[in-house]
């Protein structure tokens, strides 16, 4: 169980209680929305051809020193495994020695892999395309893509969220600067990105530009006692829970969506930087005089995960579910 998950326990474990089994921990991670394997997909209109030497140089720059696989050594900060020439796969596997992960029986370096994979049609990215307010051309570009390369991490779930995202960001940046693609898809945040925009955001310090997706849903128009209509809206983030900190959500009436999006983005960055430090009943707000109450709840919109719900107060709050409990 991650440290973040421990914040959602309602009772302290007594000395007589049994230890959690592996199945218990996996079930808890699924409940939280945690990703044991993090996945980013690079989509191409044409099959990419690139220099592995250049990729290794970029990996050296962004994640650590590359040790050539044929030397069969693990030194400096990164080792690379390549399949033999007899194999048909073009998979590359990297051992990041400057990202050690502690296990009960010792340390092991976090790893990333680049794996050519079967291209998926645009219809399988429908929810990401619907929420691509930042990139209106996303659907049309994905429709033209014919090739995909998947970037995943392995043995990296024990890293701190900031370290884990820094590793996957460095590996992705190395690939984008070696073999530029036409679209980037973050599976954990269900977010499609224009590659140039992503690199610009990362250069500017926007580490969560791909890893956190701010989504907007028009729920319905609600009749008031006076016969008028109120717009019921839901806004949330998705992607943070996969890294081990809560996503955030706000279910509201009659607030400017862009302003709510700004507040949720700020809160998301705060939780990513500081961890799950906001307790139920505590507040945050856009000003000293405007404070929004926070509470851990299950997400109103899929995927299933625990989020930090924010209540902007009456008359704007549209209601919440019961807070989750530990089973």
Segments of the chain scoring below 70 in pLDDT: 1-30, 65-89, 221-228, 286, 320-327
Q: Is 82 left (phi over 0), alpha (psi -120 to 50) or beta?
A: beta
In whole numbers, what is the pLDDT of the chain averaged over residues? 83
Cα separation, 287 vs 308, whole angstroms: 19
Read out DSSP for 173-241? HHHHHHS--SEEEETTTTEEE-HHHHHHHHHTT-TTTTT-EEEEEEEEEEE-TTS-EEEEEEEEEESHH
- Of all residues in the chain, what percent carry a pLDDT higher than 90? 63
Helix (H) or strand (E) segment spanning residue 247: strand 247-253
| pLDDT single digits (tens) 54-102 | 998 999 899 985 444 444 344 455 566 555 444 444 789 998 888 999 9
Coil vs helix vs strand at 270: helix
pLDDT at 36: 93
Cα separation, 47 vs 44, whole angstroms: 6
Cα separation, 156 vs 124, whole angstroms: 27
pLDDT at 228: 55
Cα separation, 245 vs 260, whole angstroms: 20
């Amino acid at each position: 169980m991650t440290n973040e998950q421990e914040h959602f326990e309602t009772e302290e474990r007594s000395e007589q209680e049994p230890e959690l089994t592996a199945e218990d921990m996996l079930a808890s991670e699924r409940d939280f929305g945690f990703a044991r394997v993090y996945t980013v997909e690079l989509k191409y209109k044409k099959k990419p051809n690139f220099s592995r030497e250049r990729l290794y140089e970029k990996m050296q720059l962004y994640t650590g020193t590359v040790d050539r696989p044929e030397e069969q050594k693990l030194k400096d900060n990164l080792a690379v495994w390549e399949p033999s020439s007899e194999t048909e796969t073009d998979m590359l596997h990297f051992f990041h020695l400057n990202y050690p992960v502690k296990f009960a029986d010792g340390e092991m370096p976090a790893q990333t892999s680049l794996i050519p994979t079967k291209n998926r049609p645009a219809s399988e990215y429908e929810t990401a395309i619907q929420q691509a307010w930042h990139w209106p051309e996303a659907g049309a570009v994905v429709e033209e893509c014919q090739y995909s390369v998947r970037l995943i991490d392995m043995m990296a779930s024990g890293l701190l969220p900031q370290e884990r995202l820094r590793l996957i960001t460095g590996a992705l940046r190395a690939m984008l600067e070696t073999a530029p693609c036409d679209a980037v898809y973050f599976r954990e945040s269900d977010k499609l990105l224009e590659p140039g925009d992503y690199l610009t955001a990362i250069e500017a310090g926007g580490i969560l530009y791909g890893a956190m997706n701010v989504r907007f849903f028009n729920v319905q128009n609600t009749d008031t006692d006076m016969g008028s209509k109120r717009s019921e809206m839901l806004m949330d983030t998705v992607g943070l829970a996969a890294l081990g900190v809560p996503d955030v959500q706000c279910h509201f009436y009659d607030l400017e969506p862009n302003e709510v999006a700004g507040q949720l983005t700020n809160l998301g960055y705060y939780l990513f930087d500081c961890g799950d430090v906001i307790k139920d009943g505590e507040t945050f707000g856009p000003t000293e005089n405007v404070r929004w109450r926070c509470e851990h709840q299950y997400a109103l919109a899929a995927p299933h995960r625990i989020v930090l719900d924010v209540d902007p107060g009456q008359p704007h709050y549209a209601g919440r579910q019961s807070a989750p409990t530990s089973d």
